[in-house]
Structure 1
Amino acid sequence: MQLGFVGLGAMGQPIVSRLLAQGHSVVVCDVNEAAVRTLVAKGATSAATPMEVASASETVLVSLPTPDSVRAVALGDKGLIHGTRMKRYVDLSTSGAKTMTEVATALHAKGVSSIDAPVSGGVGAAASGTLAIMVAGDRATFSALKDLLTTIGSRLTYVGEEVGHGQSLKLINNLLAATSLAAASEALVLGRRLGLGLDTMLEVINASSGRSFATEKIIPQTVPQRTFDFGFRTELMHKDVRLCLDEAENLQVSMWLGNSVKQVWSHAMTQGGGKKDFSAILHLFEAWNGVQLGKAANDDSGAAR
């Protein structure tokens, strides 16, 4: 299939690499010229603007960091909406239901069918084709693209006909992820102050009812060696939490815990942590309590730093 792809960041690059490896022709566009060159070397074709991508491809996928970037790529002066060939638009970003509905409505007026298909699983899953994908929109469009989406995701869920519902579900998922990571960081720091070792705590928690994706995947892969490189920036998690809470506020849904979690991630942003990996949220809890987990602590005894 001839595809277009705009947005070659941490998720976009491995997704396009996989599409190319599976035999698809892909026209790519991004402000990061180095990312474009990397994929051109693998067989992609470059385009200068999103409009050029949409003039070369019937199906265009985007993977972008913010609602504003999604709007600019889709609806801007040189956006996809001005292309001459695009018939199907797939948003893999996490941009929120409001933005998705706005873009889909504008594209529909141009004869373009849209689905939102936000992904979850991280960079490793993008590279291996094992992403979880939440798809919403026209069922016929979903059916036409199902094989393509299965190339990049092994867990494909059709959420429903209403565009934006995939986005809403992704935001709920990410609120839970942000909550569990913050809660796990706080609890493990307490354990350290009590004299417990990180390895021991994770072994017990992950065999017990306190386990979560944070304790099973994120923390074991980043904290013991202090790498903090899971593959998702703090500023993006903060954005997703904020978007989720905005949707709740618009519906007047009470979010007591959610708002507390939002304050934690907002504080991380005020401390200059936006560009850091989201696993580095642990640093806040360590600093507040004068302990450190992992390699720099030298042992597994749980002694305070």
Structure 2
Amino acid sequence: MKKLGFIGLGNMGMPMAHNLIKAGYEVNGFNRSKGKEKTFEEFGGKAGLEMTELVESVDVVMTCLPMPDDVERIILGENGVLEHADEGTLIIDFSTVSPSLHTRIEQAAEKNGVRYLDAPISGGTTGAEAGTLAIMVGGKNSAFEEAKEYFDVVGANVTHCGPIGQGTKVKLLNQYMVGLHTAAVGETLYLAEKSGLDHDLVYNVLSNGFGQSKIFDRHYSQFISQNKDEPGFALQLLLKDLGLAKEMAGESNVSLTAGPNVLQMFEQANEKGLGEKDMSALYQYVKQQEQ
């Protein structure tokens, strides 16, 4: 059985790596915050190596990182993954970055005899813990077939979308809709409140009509109704993804109307200090704007 390395043991990466351990794989984890590595060891993982040592000791390197700069630095940077990966290594990036960055990484990887897949994920921390994530994969079919056994451990809806970057394009469409739905939830609940309607009543009625969505279910039942804003997925991360979706639209010569307005809402919410809260906290921003 091949040895796996997992870089980025955050809210999504930790449960994904844990599921791989439970499936019987030997997984060596690396995280900037060493407290996370200690937790990972308690789950049965291996830790303690420098990142370069980890890369040199495994057959498959998986990364799950928050920002595009992190991915570029960790994989392409000095003393990065590609500099230390042996020929034949498979690299799988679960992060959400730009399709163009994935193209640059694949080109650099091929020069070193390394295979590369972009495999952004959707389903939140609940899906990561349950192993039911949606995984949208871009890259060569041979690499996808090799990685399928790992994807099937951490995900329940795995789709090979085409060449490198195509998985990320599908993910950005998903995030575009998440952003629109999040804005709709925030404004709808505030409008209901100001119209004298009970939130629970509105949620229960709309959840049985065409207004129902997974985002409405998530935001209201898990966060807003409980006055909880500790992030399952931080508002600033969705802001990042909406910015990437805007770049994608520009590269495709598509002029969008709703998206830019929603992006502006997220930018302003981030400026007002809501960025590190859960993305459902856009509801708080809507309320603040009207007060």
Residue 241 (structure 1) aligned with residue 239 (structure 2): no
1:227 aligns with 2:228: yes
What is aligned with 1:120?
122
2:41 is the counterpart of 1:36: no
Q: Deviations over 1:53-101 (max 9, x none)?
A: 2201111110001111001110111111122436111010001201111
Structure with the larger helix share: 2
Report if aligned partners of 1:177, 1:213 keep a CA contact under 8 Å in 2.
no
Q: Which residue of 1 aligns with 2:113?
A: 111
Q: Aligned letter for 2:242? A: V
SS of residue matched to 2:226: coil
Q: CA deviation at 1:229?
A: 3.5
User: What is aligned with 1:45?
Assistant: 46
Cross-structure match for 1:7: 8
8 Å CA contact 1:50, 1:74 repeated in 2: no
Aligned to 1:184: 185
In structure 1, the partner of 2:28 is: 27
Unaligned runs of 5+ in 2: none
Which residue number in structure 1 is paired with residue 195 of structure 2? 194
CA distance in 2, matches of 1:180, 1:50: 38
Q: Given that residues 231 and 276 in structure 2 are in contact (C-alpha distance below 8 angstroms), is that contact kept between their aligned partners in structure 1? A: no
- Give the counterpart letter for 1:174 in structure 2: Q
Alignment-derived partner of residue 211 in structure 2: 210
Alignment of 1:1-305 (within 5 A): 1-85=2-86, 87-160=89-162, 162-229=163-230, 231-290=232-291
The amino acid of 2:119's aligned partner reads: A
d(CA) in 2 for partners of 1:49, 1:234? 31
Measure how far apart 1:38 and its partner are.
Answer: 0.9
The Cα shift of 1:43 comes to 2.3
Output the amino acid matched with 2:180: T
Structure 1 residues 84, 192: closer, same or farther in 2, change over 3 A? closer
Contact 2:161 2:167 in 1 (8 A): yes
Q: Distance in 2 between matches of 1:77 and 1:136?
A: 25
Q: 1:48 Cα deviation (Å)?
A: 4.1
Q: Which amino acid aligns with 1:112?
A: V
Q: Output the amino acid matched with 1:272.
A: G
Please give the per-residue CA displacement for 1:25-63, whole angstroms capped at 9, x wherever unaligned. Answer: 111111110001111222222254432222011111100
Q: Give the conservation status (yes or no) of the 8 Å contact 1:119–1:131.
A: yes
Q: CA deviation at 1:165?
A: 0.6
Tell me the TM-score normalized by structure 2. 0.96
- Is the 8 Å Cα contact of residues 115 and 136 (structure 1) preserved in structure 2? yes
User: Using the alignment, how far apart are the partners of 1:46 and 1:269 within structure 2?
Assistant: 34
**SS in structure 2 at match of 1:40:** helix
Deviations 1:219-261 (A, max 9, x none): 2111112012450011100000001101111222101111001
Q: Percent identity?
A: 30
In 2, are the aligned partners of 1:3 and 1:58 still within 8 Å (CA)? yes
**8 Å contact kept, 1:218–1:230:** no
Closer/same/farther in 2, CA of residues 49 and 255 from structure 1, 3 Å limit: farther
Query: In 2, Cα distance between the equivalents of 1:272 and 1:284?
Result: 10
Are the structure 2 counterparts of residues 84 and 204 from structure 1 closer, same or farther at C-alpha, using a change threshold of 3 Å? closer
Q: Is the 8 A contact 1:36 1:46 kept in 2?
A: yes
User: How many residues end up aligned between the 2 structures?
Assistant: 289
Structure 1 distance, partners of 2:143, 2:32, is 29
Offset at residue 163 of structure 1 (A): 0.2
SS of 1:217 mapped into structure 2: helix
RMSD across aligned C-alpha pairs, in angstroms? 1.3
Any idea what SS the aligned residue of 1:236 has? Answer: helix
Contact 2:119 2:138 in 1 (8 A): yes
Q: Does the 8 Å CA contact 1:20/1:44 hold for their aligned counterparts?
A: yes
Kindly provide the amino acid, as one letter, of the partner of residue 99 in structure 1. L
